[in-house]
């Protein structure tokens, strides 16, 4: 039996494939038939460009129906889809290209000049463009291509995608996700979140991220649902579409912004049967305020790039603020000490898990992969957690250096490396500070040379072309020296305490 995820997706199409699949605020609608044929046409273009099963296709484009069809085309062809955050700079993309060695790159027209030479040096066979409205050279080619109707025969362990995660040493890691990883998680979420006939998804998430691409999109596809497909989160647009939707998935920022709108009431949200939140911790206060305003209890869940969704609060049952629920039915979760010994219920330890959703390792990094797994196959998440006697998990901390800003993971080392290379800088420490809108604001604390002439504006300006916008510091502070412990290690806890009120106003 073909284990290709696209074969599963196609088998779940609605009986009437003229049903809308993607519905845009402009009124444009893409039916399931059109999406299927579009995927077949894009697959033909990729095949003509030399892409074969197992080859990589790297994509840095804006959200559009054509971008979705391109993803489906990669699945259909048996190639490996690699989405990149649209905020990544050419310098960052250079690393990804040389690491993954894709056959084809698809980028935005405005990035073509900067990326063409980089792609050529990395051995990319063909570079296409796709614009914000889905138009571009690859779409033009697809419009005249003969559809590639065949679906590549794949084994369950064949790779479907590689998603890059931030690296603690500044080097991003490519998490390899198989067809089974993605299909098992999609089927499980579809079941436990009780998707039903008539469900309509409100989708305002990006599609270069696990949440928007795999969790949201796959759940709708498993159900043959229609999707209100927004290019970005806009409170007014979301509020106007709530009455026409039944499920919404978002990050905590979405919900705090909705709560800031007087037009967001229980009346406008009464048609929604499920609000889901993830990608970053939600404050218990937000959870309570949302319930008081709407009568709905947001369903929080926990996941990561390497495993998709791992735990979830129940659809039917108590959704406790500040918790992420028990393990999914096909996933095993345990809380362990650093040496791998399980801790007692109620004690803090590191969350470890395994299941059919668990990734196949990091691309080109066998040693790093081996470091992150226990001998019995459990993956060490790095997140500190507590599990109660009923199996309910609460995430109580994480690698303290990791910053989660707007739902994106940022490792300070990557930013510190860039700042430390600047003229006039002696050293730097990058921390995350509480931010009401982004969860955490990236903040740099810098030791500069007395005559260096380094300013906050100079540092921020210098990083604009080197780091994605979400990684760039929102504030820069200067100090004579960084606080250190007896072993000489920078005490970031002290810095977080000193500057804790930075984003209060």
pLDDT at 251: 87
Q: How big is the chain by its Cα radius of gyration, in Å? A: 23
Cβ atoms of residues 350 and 385 within 8 Å: yes
Q: How does residue 245 score in pLDDT terms, banded at 50, 70 and 90?
A: very high
pLDDT at 414: 80
Distance, in Å, from the CA atom of 125 to the CA atom of 323, rounded to the nearest integer, reads 47
* DSSP code at position 212: I
Q: Is 60 exceeded by the pLDDT of residue 169?
A: no
Q: Count Cα neighbours of 465 within 13 Å in the Cβ-side half-sphere.
A: 5
CB atoms within 10 A of CB 418: 21
pLDDT at 378: 97
Helix (H, G, I), strand (E, B) or coil at 315: coil
What topology is assigned to 1-9+31-154 in CATH? Rossmann fold (3.40.50)
Per mean pLDDT, which range of 47-51, 254-258, 306-310 is the poorest? 254-258
Q: How does residue 170 score in pLDDT terms, banded at 50, 70 and 90?
A: low
Nearest of 306, 300, 376 to residue 342 by alpha carbon: 376
State in words which class domain 403-498 has: alpha beta
Q: Is 80 exceeded by the pLDDT of residue 179?
A: yes
Domain locations along the chain:
1-9+31-154, 403-498
pLDDT digit string, tens, across residues 262-294: 999 999 999 999 999 988 777 778 888 999 999
What percent of the chain clears pLDDT 70, i.e. is strictly above it?
97
Per mean pLDDT, which range of 9-23, 100-114, 450-464 is the poorest? 450-464
Per mean pLDDT, which range of 12-16, 195-199, 395-399, 498-502 is the poorest? 395-399
Query: What tokens appear for 115 in the block?
Result: 């990326």
Q: What is the mean pLDDT of residues 163-189?
A: 88
* DSSP code at position 2: -
pLDDT at 398: 63
Say if 1-9+31-154 and 403-498 have the same CATH topology: no
Distance, in Å, from the CA atom of 223 to the CA atom of 206, rounded to the nearest integer, reads 20
Cβ atoms of residues 228 and 200 within 8 Å: yes
Query: In whole numbers, what is the pLDDT of the chain averaged over residues?
Result: 93
* DSSP code at position 101: -
Q: Is 70 exceeded by the pLDDT of residue 489?
A: no
Q: What is the mean pLDDT of residues 239-249?
A: 97
Query: What tokens appear for 207 in the block?
Result: 């599609």
pLDDT digit string, tens, across residues 375-394: 999 999 988 889 999 999 98
């Amino acid at each position: 039996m073909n284990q290709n995820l696209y074969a599963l997706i196609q088998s779940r199409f609605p009986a009437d494939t003229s049903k809308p699949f993607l519905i845009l605020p402009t009124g444009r609608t893409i039916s399931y038939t059109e999406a299927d044929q579009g995927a077949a046409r894009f697959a033909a273009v990729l095949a003509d460009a030399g892409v074969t099963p197992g080859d990589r296709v790297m994509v840095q484009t804006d959200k559009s129906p054509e971008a979705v069809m391109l993803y489906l085309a990669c699945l259909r062809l048996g190639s490996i889809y690699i989405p990149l955050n649209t905020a990544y700079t050419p310098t960052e993309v250079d690393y990804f290209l040389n690491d993954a060695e894709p056959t084809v790159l698809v980028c935005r027209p405005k990035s073509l000049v900067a990326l063409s030479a980089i792609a050529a040096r990395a051995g990319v066979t063909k570079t296409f463009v796709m614009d914000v409205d889905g138009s571009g050279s690859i779409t033009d080619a697809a419009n005249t291509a003969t559809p590639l109707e065949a679906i590549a025969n794949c084994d369950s362990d064949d790779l479907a995608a590689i998603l890059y995660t931030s690296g603690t040493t500044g080097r991003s890691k490519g998490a390899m996700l198989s067809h089974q990883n993605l299909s098992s998680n999609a089927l499980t979420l579809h079941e436990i979140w009780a998707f039903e006939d008539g469900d309509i998804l409100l989708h305002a998430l990006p599609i270069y991220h696990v949440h928007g691409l795999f969790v949201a999109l796959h759940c709708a596809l498993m159900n043959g649902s229609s999707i209100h497909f927004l290019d970005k989160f806009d409170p007014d647009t979301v509020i106007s579409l709530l009455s026409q939707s039944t499920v919404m998935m978002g990050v905590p920022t979405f919900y705090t912004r909705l709560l800031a709108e007087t037009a967001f009431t229980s009346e406008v949200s009464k048609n929604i049967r499920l609000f889901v939140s993830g990608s970053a911790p939600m404050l218990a206060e937000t959870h309570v305020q949302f319930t008081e305003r709407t009568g709905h209890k947001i369903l929080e869940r926990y996941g990561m790039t390497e495993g998709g969704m791992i735990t979830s609060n129940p659809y039917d049952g108590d959704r406790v603020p500040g918790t992420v629920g028990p393990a999914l039915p096909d996933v095993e979760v345990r809380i362990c000490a650093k040496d791998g010994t399980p801790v007692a219920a109620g004690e803090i330890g590191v969350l470890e898990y395994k299941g059919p959703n668990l990734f196949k390792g990091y691309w080109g990094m066998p040693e790093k992969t081996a470091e992150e797994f226990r001998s019995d196959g459990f993956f060490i998440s790095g997140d500190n957690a507590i599990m109660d006697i009923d199996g309910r998990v609460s995430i109580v901390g994480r690698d303290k250096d990791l910053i989660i800003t707007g739902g994106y993971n940022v490792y300070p080392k990557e930013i510190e490396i860039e700042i430390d290379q600047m003229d006039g800088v002696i050293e730097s420490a990058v921390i995350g500070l509480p931010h009401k809108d982004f969860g955490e604001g990236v903040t740099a604390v810098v030791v500069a040379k007395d005559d260096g002439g380094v300013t906050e504006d100079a540092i921020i300006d210098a990083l604009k072309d080197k780091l994605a916008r979400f990684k760039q510091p929102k504030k820069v502070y200067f100090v004579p020296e960084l606080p250190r412990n007896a072993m000489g290690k920078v005490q970031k806890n002290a810095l977080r305490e000193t500057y804790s009120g930075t984003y209060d106003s």
